[in-house]
Structure 1
Amino acid sequence: MPPDDLNTRAANLRQQLARQLAAGGSLRSTEWRAAVEDVPRHEFLRAFYAENLDPGATAWTPISAELVGVGEWLSIAYSDQTLVTQFDGRPLDWSGPKPVSNANPTSSSTLPSLVVSMLEDLDVHDDMTVLELGTGTGYSTALLCHRLGDKNVTSVETDRDVADRARIALASCGYYPRLLTNDGQHGHAGPAPYDRTIATYGVRSVPSAWVEQTRPGGLIVTTLRGWMRSLGLVRLTVDGEGRAEGPFIAAEPHFMIARQQAAPTSMGMIPAPEEGKTRETRFGRELLSMPDSGFLAQIIMPNARHFTMQDDSGTDRTYILDAENESFAVLTDQGDGAWTVRQGGPCALWDDLEEAISLWHAADSPAPTGFGVTVTPGDQRVWLGSPDGPSWALPK
């Protein structure tokens, strides 16, 4: 495809994407719409992997203009989906690309609807400064540069190879923000304080550096998540005394967790059959996977993970194991909707979750957006309803 035809096709696809995002409600302002229509996402996605959505498939398919043709490559690059550019923290080999399975995506260009929705929620105004944690491909960085100007954008990426590719792509589009390769948990103190701070990966709790480097009255937009699942997107207002507070504004944005906070490889030891105390419970394992109760489970058991397997008798048991203190809970389906739980260790994990569920029901079972977060120098808590309501500590 001749360059002029490619550019025309890409411009048309950007217009189409902007219309789609506006119709879906994620793109809400003329300024961000202009950025989506102008910034060439395909320049940040010269080669990538797209998830294979066929039933039963768990693989990612390599995509580039050479592999699938220019038209198909462009169409996918401007689709509203997350496109993976790295697995397991290693550079991809494009000399003979093949489908990938049983791998962990570690860098990507997040679906545009989530990216622009977060940028809208950031509530920026002309000449504001922004600290972005997680440069990734550089696409969201480019959108920020388009809106605010290069000099007002600082972006930090932990992976040097990812950062180098983003720097090249940004320069090819004429954007030259301040780019750093470092652990984003530390932010970047150089031009601080920033008017706004945004993270494009998930964290188990809000790093103190982000609060310290955001000006009083400034906003932090980030995803809180854990080892079992994402909690949600929060928008915190900073008060200048080491405190930040605000609500969850969206549930379950699927950002990767910060590499420095990834779950340990080992889930811990499976408890012996005689360990712990057994009792009946009115809840089963679905409590862990349903959207709202799963949100609570992640808050109550921040260091735990769960899995289900059959024992020697063929009975399915769901094991919840805390990697930090070796607490455990084992759920067993007794049939006809009856369940038992066996618990042990220093924390009664299932008791704590049942108590939180009762408080949640008493508050009319709000969605995650009915919760919020308060960050102080010594403590971070998720609260229900208001800062004075029931609350639970985030991991430090």
Structure 2
Amino acid sequence: MDWQQHAVHLSTRVTDPVSRWRGPVAETPRHELVPRWWERDGVGGWRLRDGAADPSAWTTAAYADRSLITRVGTLHADNAQLTDRPQGLPTSSATLPSLVVRMLRHGRLADGLSLLDLGTGAGGLTAYACHRLGAGRVTSLDIDPYLVSAAGQRLASLGHHPTMVAADATEHVPGSYDRIVSTVGLPAGPGLAPVVAALAPGGRIATTIGRTCLIITGWKRASGAVMGQVERDTAGFMLTRSGDDYPPALTELFTLAREGRGEDITTGAYPVVDLPNAWELSSMLQVTAPGAELDYERRDGTRTAYLVHPDGSWARAFAYGTNPPEVHQGGPQRLWTALERIRHQLNADGSLPLLGAQVRITPDGVCHLSRGNWHTSMGAR
């Protein structure tokens, strides 16, 4: 494959002309890091794509600015059969290059600094960082031993030999690092504490918080706390896993949300919104009701949104077009009511206080957010 011209073209799309990341993107054969991947099959499952069997499609996919799913549930694309049709959620990917570059820029990398790439995936960020910093300064960590091994071998074939670590970052992160860049959504609270502990005093972290679009950056003080901000930038990463797969979805609650008659039945004040793709709204809902799960469907002009929570709360709102929705809610929380308070605040103030908020992450992993008179905490027990 004549990959160089494609890599150069990709680099011009995802970096500025003077960016120090243009060279790493232009000189990385991304296709070698993603020889196989999963694509949606159109009927709720996934189908395998094998690059060697279709070099043209391989080139197009590898050098597009898109994420490529490399693991669904517990099934790696590398180990799958062409007839496999997994039904689970994506659990690993090769992140789209433009987002990798943005996260690296948020990390404020510089020569001579050590970097922890948290969430190895296919190894793209590790490859760029090795090119820029030198492999001796780079450590790449993932919970999945196979991913760590496969990425390490592929990086070695490119001439990069970083330190590769298989570990659960929510339990323990070995070593100490000047910079930590995470391309998985870390959980605020105890699961974030080991990452904060691994950041050297004076070091900087760039990460997202799980189930939100919030990119949080900050510098570690001598006190052990990280002081920073929520960037005016957004990203959606997979949740950090603490096992071989994600915990089972709240299937029974989603069934109740789809079919049940609510304890409260009201008319909503605002049209039904596609919450999974309304990132700032859904992020603010996570601050209000941490752990909420969302779904949305549109059929024959009718929009329906579903919200469920591990405490047993659920909500369903549906309406044709932008008409006021009929809202059914049950359980200890009124999730749609909480969402409407957020939307009312957005309408009244013109914005939500999340983006641009100041952040203090204490050593226990709790994220304290504030902006003006508004303040809240994420991850507090």
- TM beyond 0.5: yes
Residues 393 and 224 (structure 1), Cα distance of their counterparts in 2 relative to 1, 3 Å cut: closer
Give 2:203's aligned residue.
Answer: 218
Give 2:332's aligned residue.
Answer: 346
* Matching of residue 118 in structure 1 with residue 99 in structure 2: no
Separation in structure 1 between the aligned mates of residue 88 and residue 303 of structure 2, nearest angstrom = 27
Higher mean displacement: 217-226 or 375-384: 375-384
Separation in structure 1 between the aligned mates of residue 86 and residue 260 of structure 2, nearest angstrom = 35
Q: Secondary structure at the match of 2:174?
A: coil
Separation in structure 2 between the aligned mates of residue 327 and residue 298 of structure 1, nearest angstrom = 14
Give 2:31's aligned residue.
Answer: 42
Give 2:6's aligned residue.
Answer: 13
* Matching of residue 297 in structure 1 with residue 282 in structure 2: no
- Structure whose alpha-carbon radius of gyration is higher: 1
Give 1:312's aligned residue.
Answer: none
Q: Secondary structure at the match of 2:3?
A: helix
Amino acid paired to 2:169? G
Preserved contact between residue 370 and residue 384 of structure 1 (Cα < 8 Å) = no
Preserved contact between residue 383 and residue 391 of structure 1 (Cα < 8 Å) = yes
Q: Secondary structure at the match of 1:299?
A: helix
Alpha-carbon RMSD:
3.5
Preserved contact between residue 204 and residue 395 of structure 1 (Cα < 8 Å) = no
Preserved contact between residue 234 and residue 250 of structure 1 (Cα < 8 Å) = no
Give 1:158's aligned residue.
Answer: 143
Separation in structure 1 between the aligned mates of residue 347 and residue 224 of structure 2, nearest angstrom = 33
Please, which runs of 5 or more residues in structure 2 have no aligned partner? none
Residues 131 and 336 (structure 1), Cα distance of their counterparts in 2 relative to 1, 3 Å cut: closer
Describe the superposition over 1:265-305 as per-residue Cα deviations: whole angstroms up to 9, x where unpaired: 33444279676344444134327353432332233222222
Larger relative contact order (CA 8 Å, sep ≥ 6): 2
Give 2:250's aligned residue.
Answer: 266
Q: Secondary structure at the match of 1:185?
A: coil
Describe the superposition over 1:128-167 as per-residue Cα deviations: whole angstroms up to 9, x where unpaired: 0111111112221121111112221111111111111111
* Matching of residue 29 in structure 1 with residue 19 in structure 2: yes
Residues 133 and 316 (structure 1), Cα distance of their counterparts in 2 relative to 1, 3 Å cut: closer
Separation in structure 2 between the aligned mates of residue 308 and residue 45 of structure 1, nearest angstrom = 31
Residues 352 and 366 (structure 1), Cα distance of their counterparts in 2 relative to 1, 3 Å cut: closer
**Number of equivalent positions:** 370
Amino acid paired to 1:165? A
Residues 346 and 243 (structure 1), Cα distance of their counterparts in 2 relative to 1, 3 Å cut: farther
Amino acid paired to 2:360? T
Aligned residue among 194, 197, 203 for 2:186: 203
Separation in structure 2 between the aligned mates of residue 117 and residue 308 of structure 1, nearest angstrom = 29
Residues 276 and 245 (structure 1), Cα distance of their counterparts in 2 relative to 1, 3 Å cut: farther
**1:379: how far off?**
6.6
Give 2:215's aligned residue.
Answer: 233
Separation in structure 1 between the aligned mates of residue 348 and residue 232 of structure 2, nearest angstrom = 22
Give 1:337's aligned residue.
Answer: 323
Describe the superposition over 1:328-370 as per-residue Cα deviations: whole angstroms up to 9, x where unpaired: 3343559983345454443333343333334444432148534
Q: Secondary structure at the match of 1:260?
A: coil
Describe the superposition over 1:163-213 as per-residue Cα deviations: whole angstroms up to 9, x where unpaired: 1111111111121111111112245333x1x11111111123261111122
Residues 38 and 78 (structure 1), Cα distance of their counterparts in 2 relative to 1, 3 Å cut: same
Preserved contact between residue 178 and residue 203 of structure 2 (Cα < 8 Å) = yes
Preserved contact between residue 373 and residue 380 of structure 1 (Cα < 8 Å) = no
Q: Secondary structure at the match of 1:326?
A: coil
Residues 28 and 280 (structure 1), Cα distance of their counterparts in 2 relative to 1, 3 Å cut: farther
Residues 274 and 126 (structure 1), Cα distance of their counterparts in 2 relative to 1, 3 Å cut: closer
Preserved contact between residue 287 and residue 293 of structure 1 (Cα < 8 Å) = no
Preserved contact between residue 17 and residue 79 of structure 1 (Cα < 8 Å) = yes
Q: Secondary structure at the match of 2:285?
A: helix
**1:114: how far off?**
0.8
Q: Secondary structure at the match of 1:36?
A: helix
Residues 337 and 281 (structure 1), Cα distance of their counterparts in 2 relative to 1, 3 Å cut: same
Separation in structure 2 between the aligned mates of residue 277 and residue 101 of structure 1, nearest angstrom = 37
Give 1:185's aligned residue.
Answer: 170
Tell me the percent identity: 27
Preserved contact between residue 234 and residue 372 of structure 1 (Cα < 8 Å) = no
Separation in structure 1 between the aligned mates of residue 50 and residue 320 of structure 2, nearest angstrom = 48
Give 1:3's aligned residue.
Answer: none
Preserved contact between residue 268 and residue 322 of structure 1 (Cα < 8 Å) = no
Residues 331 and 10 (structure 1), Cα distance of their counterparts in 2 relative to 1, 3 Å cut: closer
Q: Secondary structure at the match of 2:112?
A: coil
* Matching of residue 77 in structure 1 with residue 51 in structure 2: no
Separation in structure 2 between the aligned mates of residue 305 and residue 95 of structure 1, nearest angstrom = 29
TM-score by length of 2: 0.82
TM-score by length of 1: 0.79
Q: Secondary structure at the match of 1:120?
A: helix
